[in-house]
Chain A
Amino acid sequence: MFEIFTYDFMIRALIVGTLVSLCAALLGVILVLKRYSMIGDGLSHVGFGALAIAAAANLAELQVAVPIVLIAAFFLLRLSKKSGLNGDAAIAVISTTALAIGVIVAGVAGLNTDLNSYLFGSILATTNADAVMCVVLAIVVIVVFLVFYNKIFSVTFDESFAAATGARPAVYNMIIAVLTALTIVIGMKIMGTLLISALIIFPALSAMRLCKSFKSVIIVSGILSVFCFIFGLILSYYLDIATGPTVVLFNCAVLIIFYVISRIRMKFL
């Protein structure tokens, strides 16, 4: 079954996808707990707009998308903080606007054939240079996350206690936003902009069904995410179906299984 990894594009997809899955799973736990799930979704739509503009203007995609999504991340975080403005609605406004811009730009520039791969991902779309960039960014995300792991836990668990004992929640919220933006941008090519947020939310939700400590949720979430990606990738290759959606459905199946197990455990234990 391993002859599929004799293809270069498959190897690239495997490496990039595994790292992105891991990043998404780590951050996903935080985003779900902070009630920021929708921010991930919003950012991926902004990423789509950025990709379309970059392609139309013939610029390097990542170099355009990274700064645009970063700015959007700062902005969205601000919006969700302000209680006066309806943060939920604001995110929907921004993400649909970005999506609309992306579709029109792609249409005008005659990129309609690429549209599908932007929206739903394509494992063929990753070039060698992309892959290297993705690997570097993913490692940065994972290292930063692990270094600040304890602080991030403290700030996420109880922001006011953390602030009272000298931590600066705003700084860590920014770190989380930046890491999320990076993860989304590097994951967009493989998973597609419409599906990348699934990679962030599903593993965290599954892990939270069964695990009782933060550390175990993080670890299980990471393992599940990588597992689902690799199996989704292999399955999609053999069944000749799109990779991103296969991975998402795999994640969904795992969530259902974990949910059922947690219900059974609650009833009988």
Chain B
Amino acid sequence: MSYIKCSDLKMGYEDGVVFENLSFSVNKGEYLCIVGENGSGKSTLMKGLLGLVNPLGGSIEYGEGLEKKGIGYLPQQTDIQSDFPSSVYEVVLSGTLNLRRIPFYSKEQKKIALSNMDRVGILDLKSKCFQDLSGGQQQRVLLARALCATTKLIILDEPITGLDPLASQDLYDLVQKLNKDGITVVMVSHDIKSAVTHASHILHLSGDSYFYGTTHEYMHSPYGAKFLITDCPCDDCQHTHKGGNKLV
């Protein structure tokens, strides 16, 4: 059984179907990147996985002890107000609220918050104001909050939007490290090049069709080839890429 298994998924809103017949799964330890053009349904799919939007058809099953509310979620920065007064510690701590029913923080929850702040390297920012931080630091704070809500799987929505190249690389490295430590990662991204260097699996949504497979398979598929005019590093490759340079 996988953490998440989608079968014949059909999703959309009142004004139409965004995609249908989508089947894929997310297994323990994987790093799945969901890529695709604007409007191809990346965000809709993600909301479906989080339980924020109900599917129109098909099913989303959660397994291996993963609960819907036990998914750590890193939303897009734009969802958060720019003038909200809050300390880093308050933000991270709020990630533990799904751990118990009583709405007060226990010692245990505070410990979880602190250890996750340590994990993403923001312990020294604890009492800083969230809004005064740089974009990269803010993403780390939100990542720590997401980790508080889960021990299994995090979903990241366009995490590098608005970050400079250095901060983006930092964030990718951090996510990679978390993945190595055993956190399963699902990332919605525009950045196909980075997706193929970090992810183990790719889900490419493209209007009425889609691709799902390992990153290696993706790079050799027509879906991947359209975007990746780079040298494939693998030994099996004999084919010519769009650039015309034959790989040996």
A contacts, CB < 8 Å to B: 33, 147-151, 153-154, 156-167, 208, 211-217
Contacts and interface: CB of A to CB of B under 8 A. Distances in A.
B90 A167 contact: no
A3 to B, nearest CB: 41
B81 to A, nearest CB: 7
A149 B155 CA distance: 26
Q: Which of B89, B93, B103 has the most CB of A within 10 A?
A: B103
Given A164-B73, A165-B69, A157 B94 contact: yes
A166 B69 contact: yes
Describe B's contact surface by its main secondary structure. mixed
Given A151-B97, A160-B79, A214 B86 contact: yes
A153 B79 CA distance: 15
Contact of A213 (B50, B71, B105, B129): B129
A214 B87 contact: yes
Contacts of B136: none
A212 B132 contact: yes
Interface in B57-104: 68-73, 75, 79-81, 83-87, 89-91, 93-95, 97-98, 103-104
A33 B98 CA distance: 23
Interface of B: 50-52, 68-73, 75, 79-81, 83-87, 89-91, 93-95, 97-98, 103-105, 127-129, 132, 142, 145-146, 149, 155
A150 B94 contact: yes
Given A33-B81, A165-B98, A157 B86 contact: yes
A213 B145 CA distance: 16
Given A166-B69, A213-B90, A215-B90, 6 more contacts: A148-B103, A164-B50, A164-B52, A164-B69, A165-B70, A165-B149
A159 B94 CA distance: 12
A166 to B, nearest CB: 3
A34 to B, nearest CB: 9
Contacts of B85: 208, 211-214, 216-217
Question: Which are the 3 A-B pairs with shortest beta-carbon distances?
Answer: A166-B69, A212-B129, A213-B87
Contacts of A216: 85
A1 B85 CA distance: 38
Nearest to B80: A158
A162 B69 CA distance: 9
A159 B47 CA distance: 13
A163 B46 CA distance: 13
A164 B79 contact: no
A262 to B, nearest CB: 12
Contacts of A159: 79
A131 to B, nearest CB: 31
B52 A165 contact: no
A185 B50 CA distance: 39
A265 to B, nearest CB: 13
Given A148-B103, A165-B98, A212-B132, A153 B73 contact: no
